[in-house]
Structure 1
Amino acid sequence: MLLPIEDGDEAIVATPVLTIVVPCYNEEEVLPETVFQLSGVLDAFIQDNLISSASTMLLVDDGSKDATWELIERFHASNSYVTGLKLAKNAGHQSALLAGLMRAKSYSDCVVSIDADLQDDLAAIREFIVKFHEGYDVVYGVRQDRTADTFFKRATAQGFYKLMTSMGVNIHYNHADFRLMSRRTLDELEKFQEVNLFLRGMVPLLGFPSTKVFYDRKERFAGESKYPLKKMLAFAFDGITSFSVTPIRFVTSMGFVLFALSVVAGLYAIIGKIMGATVTGWTSLILSVWFIGGVQLLALGLIGEYIGKIYKEVKRRPLYVIEKEVIADQRELASVPSAKPTWVN
């Protein structure tokens, strides 16, 4: 519920400035419909006095090779809601999303992140705003079910969430990057200087009041998915290695187990030698060599992955470079009173 703020003799209704951040990579097919639908959402929220008339959408072009940026510039010229950032090269979904969040937080009271493919339910954003007015700093959009997914995608996704949870990572089940964050949570998120980004795991670490909104995911409106199996597996592996050392501990445990087995095998060989038993053992010897060799390579690769992440973190290279931007006039935004989430018991 909105509360009035007294300003001299006038009462001003504190409505928050909302920015909807949309990472875009080769989205020229779906972008016109995305802008159209998000404009309708902002129109409706402003009319219902849920958000300020200074609210906008921020389209982040993640180094697209098609006409995505040209469309953003065109929409900016004809649609007062549309603003944009163009990254100098493809930095990846998480970096592009972070670029939009960090840019939007300077003039927004709350920010909603959503993909450009229109699979996330836009109607859920209204519930996000309502929860923000109730005092929540983070609102997670969570899928109600995965019945629309293929068996393989459903099984791998659910397996990923369960695996992350079992490794001690605080991650919300069936939540991607469809969420609302308040300005103060974004201010704190900016202090996380990590190069290996996994926002789904980083946001829960902030610890601010949060809640969930459940929704049904739709089919992609147009274009192709930018997350094929290879990228999905790489993203999952990055998430695991960025937030858990359990794989390293697993390798250590495996080393102890193999050491124990080698001791047992050594005792068996010594006893057999004393008793005069002759064992050819060629097959078992070759299999054991291949097995132990494979485990060693796996362990070295896993350790190398962690060392590689440390290497990237130590260099402190920027996550993204902004080439161009088309942003609303900050003087107009500054004239709008800042709002904080308000509620009545």
Structure 2
Amino acid sequence: MGIKAITSCCFVLFLLIIVDVDGAWTISKEEDMELEKQLKILNKPAVKTIRTDSGQIFDCVDIHKQPSLDHPLLKNHKVQMTFDGFPESMKDRPLEGKGLSGFGVGCPIGTVPIRRSAKLAANDKPIYGVTSILNVYKPTLLSPDQVSGSIIYLSTGFGDDSKSVVSVGWAVMPPVYRDNFTHLFAYWTADNSKTTGCYDILCPGFVQQSQEFALGRTFPGSNYNGSQIHIKVLVSKDSKSGDWYLRVNGASVGYWPKELFRGAFEVAKEVNWGGEIFSPRQPCPPMGSGHFESEGTGRACYISGMRYQTAAGGYFEDIDPELQALVDRPHCYNVSMPSYLSEITGYIFLFGGPGGQC
């Protein structure tokens, strides 16, 4: 289990996009045709269409015909409408955040919002779930092929070809979303991204439940030394179905069915929190608020309320404060060790930096 401020030179952004030797994002004509084919599959017929304040389009599609169910392993999957094994300790009041883009307009009953796709440290305890509060910012990228965000990462911790991963967080990610807004994102893979996995619902897998809260939605960023924006994220394995479900700001967004992981994701053995950037060239983009952790809360980005489950359906408990911190570019980004604030807030750590010649 660890906290990280990481740069990356081989970050998988979309399975059909490749990086050439100059670091530019390119796709071939054949890949472009295949992408168009996949987009037709992803963009299901809509009962209703919602356009958000930031210009995103979400189609309200039949919950039983959402693109994730096209996955061959989910051919006979029955969509779970509720989770009977949801822990009592997490039945709390939702944080701020009203549906799509904050205006409280949702999809009709029986449908769910699907974002319309366009071109484009190890732990010795089994972990069944994690929850945290992410301080949200909108880092300014220096080029459209960069990425900067905050992430919670769970994995089996196995070898390269067998690692199952579920991660969720926020990021400014133009290679995926084709804009400079801050998005809620999620990612999964059953073989360390070798042949499976993708962001959000860009491939079949994640099953949407919520009529209002969708992956890929945007959030406003916090203001330096001003108003702060937060999202509360929870990922947990349902004690009865065995599926891994996602809640954001108290709302059940959806879940990753256990079938996706072929029985290889019984528990998480590795959990990480922190900031992560991608840049194929110098200079590197800012991370978090763009300011170092030494400036304190309200100015530096942070993650708080870090708790986890050590039993399926069990209570969430505070993290062990003896975590490992990894910083691979300390002159560009840094991270503080966790400190305990209160029973409500729990442990908190700060991270980020301005980037530059890293």
Q: Under TM normalisation by the shorter chain, which class is it? A: under 0.3
Higher strand share: 2
Structure index of larger Rg: 1
TM-score (norm 1): 0.25
TM-score (norm 2): 0.24
Higher helix share: 1
